[in-house]
Amino acid sequence: MSFYGFRPYVPVAERRRQAQRKLATMKKQGHAIAPVTVVGRTITKSFWGKSWCVNLERYSDYESRLPRGRTYIRNGSVVDLQISKGGIAALVAGSALYKVKIVVSPVSPARWKAICRDCAGTVDSLVELLQGRLAKAVMDRVCREDDGLFPSPKEIKLSCSCPDWADMCKHVAAVLYGVGARLDEKPQLLFVLRDVDENELLASAGQNLPLEKAAPDAAKVLTESDVAALFGLEMAETANIFTPVPTITKRPQRSKGQKGSKAQARKEKPAAKKENSHRAIRTSAGSKRVTRFSAKKPRARPP
């Protein structure tokens, strides 16, 4: 039985069971489901997730509705959350499975150019940007209220299928906190949501660097005749650098190996002569002995 259009209270466990049955049917039909899971009491842990939640809480328009949303996101009521260009679509398990749709206006080109200009030369790595590990002044500029990267209430349009008449019901508040939890996992989705390219922050890093010095104009360069006429000097004629210089051919030097081989050959020649002379003496002496032995007559034997 409902009261003023509201459905009766349903326990959290029962809501989850009903939501899981409907999600199972949607999965069979080919729908991609991405639930938001919060571990512990802290909804967000990264820089971008915390900055998103801080941006929501600093606006008085959302002050009264946000606490109920934190309860819903912690107990796992956001069973599906999809972030795309300029829009957020979600399913929240309440007394029924409610559909939440949030439209976020894109960042104006002038505003995005101002952010890139103020951050020029400070963003060296896309990884450091997505992890929020940049200088505090840079991150404060990106997260600045009204003219930063995060949307203000006037840039957000909210809608939910629940019977609550308020623009931000507890289901919408839970989805907005769920966006912060999702940025913990994929911080680049913030740039997708605001329809800007995070790489432009890197591309603008070198735009404020000084340009290279250009070559002087040929008409402004003084020649030798101009210098002589200006100071009344007689400039000496420069030698023609293209005149060929005669070269002196040098005799090729002998290598040490060639010198050593010739000296060794000279030393070996006398040794060969001496050896030949000794052989001649021996042969001559031998011939004399032979001749003397053959000149002797045989002795006559006694009868």
Return the higher-pLDDT residue of 192 and 260: 192
- Considering the entire predicted model, what is its pTM? 0.62
Return the higher-pLDDT residue of 6 and 146: 146
Q: What is the pLDDT of residues 257-299, one digit of tens each?
A: 555 555 555 555 554 444 444 444 444 444 444 444 444 555 5
In the predicted model, what is the mean pLDDT of residues 186-212?
A: 75
In the predicted model, what is the mean pLDDT of residues 81-103?
A: 92
Q: How many Å apart are CA 300 and CA 265, to the nearest integer?
A: 60
C-alpha separations of 273 from 36, 262, 270, 276, 285 in Å: 110, 18, 5, 5, 19
CB atoms within 10 A of CB 39: 9
Q: How many Å apart are CA 208 and CA 119, to the nearest integer?
A: 10
Q: How many Å apart are CA 201 and CA 112, to the nearest integer?
A: 10
The residues spanned by each domain of the chain are: 12-105+153-195
pLDDT band at 91 (very low <50, low <70, confident <90, very high): very high
Q: What is the pLDDT of residues 52-62, one digit of tens each?
A: 999 988 887 77
pLDDT at residue 6 greater than cutoff 90: no
Provide the token pair at 81.
């959350």
Q: How many Å apart are CA 76 and CA 83, to the nearest integer?
A: 18
C-alpha separations of 52 from 57, 199, 216 in Å: 9, 20, 53
In the predicted model, what is the mean pLDDT of residues 135-155?
A: 89
Phi and psi, residue 79, nearest 5°: -90, -10
Whole-number percent of the chain with pLDDT over 90: 28
pLDDT score for 26: 76
Return the higher-pLDDT residue of 157 and 17: 157
pLDDT band at 228 (very low <50, low <70, confident <90, very high): low
Cα–Cα nearest to 43, from 20, 65, 80, 72: 72
Hey, which residues does 78 pair with through a beta bridge? 92
pLDDT score for 14: 73
